[in-house]
Copies of this chain bind each other. A is one copy, B any other.
């Protein structure tokens, strides 16, 4: 199971809003697309979730799991509507082209703050893997946020405790 998004990558965004998907991520997207036939894997890009500074990307398989969970919730409840809105309506299916790129959809550009000017000036995006999904950031926003949050990670810990102590205790160790 190397089928996981891992690591960080910086990619240029050109004037037409095209970005290369990092090759290792492509491998995972291909594995996670049941309709993949050798080229052009698809995936789902989520631009909802106000408050966050990035867009989140799900493989087809992973999104189906999420959809199934949402469908199991009672229809019409505010909770379900909230999830539908943020993960279905505010999302978009995208296809990786034969050169390994996608065009950033307008809504995603908007969320990241990639306007026409930024594209002209040669914008850069950061791809950050988070196991089952990956995130796309504007590079500068990513670096600023990382600096802040890396500190916050340690707020949970007693002085001197190890990060791994946060893991659930589990018989298999």
Which A residues lie at the B interface, using CB under 8 A? 1-2, 4, 6-8, 24, 35, 42, 44, 49-50, 60, 64, 67, 69-70, 72-73, 78-79, 81-93, 105, 107, 128-131, 146, 149-150, 152-153, 156, 163-164, 166-168, 170
Given A2-B35, A35-B2, A86-B163: A69 in contact with B153 (beta carbons within 8 A): no
> When the two chains form the complex, which single residue of B107, B150, B170 contacts A85, counting CB atoms closer than 8 Å?
B150
> When the two chains form the complex, which single residue of B2, B72, B128, B129 contacts A168, counting CB atoms closer than 8 Å?
B72
Docked pose: A4 CA to B92 CA in angstroms: 10
* Docked-complex contact B153 and A85, CB < 8 angstroms: yes
- Nearest CB in chain B: distance from A73 CB, A: 6
* Docked-complex contact A82 and B168, CB < 8 angstroms: no
* Docked-complex contact B166 and A8, CB < 8 angstroms: no
Nearest residue in B to A153 (C-beta to C-beta)? B82
* Docked-complex contact A131 and B88, CB < 8 angstroms: yes
Chain B residues lying within 8 Å of A67, measured Cβ to Cβ, are 4, 131
Chain B residues lying within 8 Å of A166, measured Cβ to Cβ, are 79, 82-83
- Nearest CB in chain B: distance from A84 CB, A: 6
